[in-house]
Chains A and B, each alone.
Chain A
Amino acid sequence: MNTADIVVIVVMAIGLVAWIGEPVVRRGRMQEAAADAHDDAIERLILQKETLYTAIRDLDFDHQTGKVDAEDHVALRRQMEAEAADILRQLDLADPLADLDLVAEREILAYRRKEDAASEDTCPTCGTDLAADATYCPICGQLLKPAV
């Protein structure tokens, strides 16, 4: 073994020990970990929300491409919306500011619900309550007035 090799090996060993040992010597990272765990919980909820949103999108798409009947579509969509609302509530409890977009979306949702309730029109195909100015049914997609 020549001297250069020995030097490289020694440097490698010292570097390795310093690199691995540094966190143990410094410690004091407990708070960071606790914060991470909290973030994990919220991230999990957001993921669940996104999964459901994707599922709803897929359901709508399956309906549009003729794989799901209007009847099934309404029933399944209602069920998924209920699940989504439940997750949004949990997210709200976990951290009201976790996802500002989410808050905005919820408000829009609530507003539309109110609007829907106020209107007396119903869809001729599936019977869903409709907003007064609806162009087509939000549930089954039935065209109500000619699109502009």
Chain B
Amino acid sequence: MELLPFFEWAETSFLGYIGKTYGGVYATFGQSIHLMSLAVLGGSVLVTDLRLLGVIMKDVPSEVVANEAHKWFRIALVFILATGIFMAAAVAQRMYYNDFFWAKMSALLVGIIFVFAIKRPMLKGNHADIQPWLLKLVAVASIMIWFSVAATGRWIGFS
């Protein structure tokens, strides 16, 4: 499937026009809210994963931590996707030819599938029923995946 026409269209769309024309809107509503959402998303990932690894909050049930953090993960994900789409629309054609953009999109897709198809269904139940090594493996995988998403995302700006 040829995606370039879609990226060309995105840049001429209303969102693309706003981001391209008004640098202040791009930097505040786009980049800054994207980073604030990263704080919440990354925080919710780390709170859960560090708890599963037994690094923090050992005296709080991991089920409580995972459930509460997941609520904020979903909210942050909505904001991070919305601001990400806004930013990408403004520079869509440049993104199309940027390797790190595609690396990030791949990592993000893996991250979303990992959370909603593996991590969340697994952590919904009683954690005592799950092998401890498996919980730790999921936590390490989760940290690595979301680190990759954030790092490749930051590197888009450098490349």
A and B: real partners?
no
Residues of A in contact with B (beta carbons under 8 Å apart): none
- Which residues of B line the A interface, CB within 8 A? none
